[in-house]
Amino acid sequence: MTKGKQLYEGKAKKVFETDNDEYLIVSYKDDATAFNGLKKGTIAGKGVINNQMSNRLMKLLETKGVPTHFVEELSERETVVRRVKIVPLEVIVRNISAGSFSKRYGVEEGIVFDKPTVEFSYKNDELGDPLLNDDHAIALKLATEEEIAIIKKYALKVDEVLSEFWAGCGVTLVDYKLEFGKLSDGTIILADEISPDTCRLWDSKTKEKLDKDRFRRDMGGVEDAYAEIMRRLNNALK
């Protein structure tokens, strides 16, 4: 697969065309942003960790019946993925209260839910990714009712698989954001990334944060936390 021209540069990744119309190459950067781009920095080694972690978790999800965009890891930072049209919804699944959920509803972090919640935000930086419900998503023609049902089904399957996987690593999967895309024939698959940038991951015993909240909240030890979570994943998949 040869790398073609750069299509897009996002906050954490670059995307390149390839010699095949159906595939793209993503290249993970060490750049980190938070609060809709207001806070900027770098996390040394993050690109390598996010690339490898996302690929391994997507491979695991494929074996459990969740189709993903993952095709082939090319190098430490680069991966071939299926070309999709991203559904402009951030799909957020929560098992425990944290972050914007706690802020919105005025509750402490760490409340364990009886069942996971799925919520959608409209992927739109200018509007600050506003929260919306299924009917709003359909009204705005962001997805059809059928597509939303499939997305929710996959999001909950991801929750089942990854909660169990991380528990085996001594890690609690608190919440995370998924993005889905559509192939040219309309098939919905999981796209984007699954990494400490997009998940809240707490040590099950100490509740220590092993994710991007260390960067968002200036807690220090960011690189160490990313390295630790990757070490645990590697141990589990040995």
**Residue nearest to ligand UDP as judged by C-beta position:** 99
Name the CA dihedral angle for 130, 131, 135, 141, rounded to a multiple of 10 degrees: 40
At its nearest, how many Å lie between ligand UDP and the CB of residue 184? 27
In angstroms, rounded to a whole number, what is the distance separating the alpha carbons of residues 128 and 36? 7
Site for ligand UDP contains 137 (CB under 6 A): no
| CA 186 centroid distance within chain | 21
Stretch of residues binding ligand UDP (CB under 6 A), selected from 10-18, 68-76, 137-145, 170-178: 170-178
Binding mask 11-40 for ligand UDP (x = CB under 6 A): ------------------------------
Minimum separation from the CB atom of position 73 to ligand UDP (A): 21
**176: buried, middle or exposed (CB in 10 Å: 19+, 13-18, 0-12)?**
buried
The type of residue at 49 is: I
Question: Residue 17 or 124: which CB sits closer to ligand UDP?
Answer: 124
CB closer to ligand UDP, 4 vs 104 = 104
Question: Taking the complex as a whole, how short is the minimal distance between the CB of residue 182 and ligand UDP, in angstroms?
Answer: 20
114 — phi, psi (to 5°)? Answer: -70, -35
Query: What is the footprint of ligand UDP within residues 105-134 (CB under 6 A)?
Result: 129
Give the number of residues in contact with ligand UDP, rule: CB under 6 A.
14
- Which range, of 98-106, 143-151, 159-167, 228-236, touches ligand UDP by CB under 6 A? 98-106
DSSP state of 232: H
- Dist CA 223 CA 14 (whole Å): 21
- Nearest one of 123, 116, 81 to 97, comparing CA atoms: 116
x-marked contacts with ligand UDP along 172-211 as a string, rule CB under 6 A: ---xxx--------------------xxx-----------
Question: What residues have CB less than 8 Å from 4, skipping those under 6 apart?
Answer: 16, 17, 18, 19
- Residues 16 and 6 sit within 8 Å (Cβ to Cβ): yes
Burial (0-12, 13-18, 19+ Cβ within 10 Å), 195: buried
Query: Which residues sit at the interface with ligand UDP, rule CB under 6 A?
Result: 90, 92, 98-101, 129, 175-177, 198-200, 212
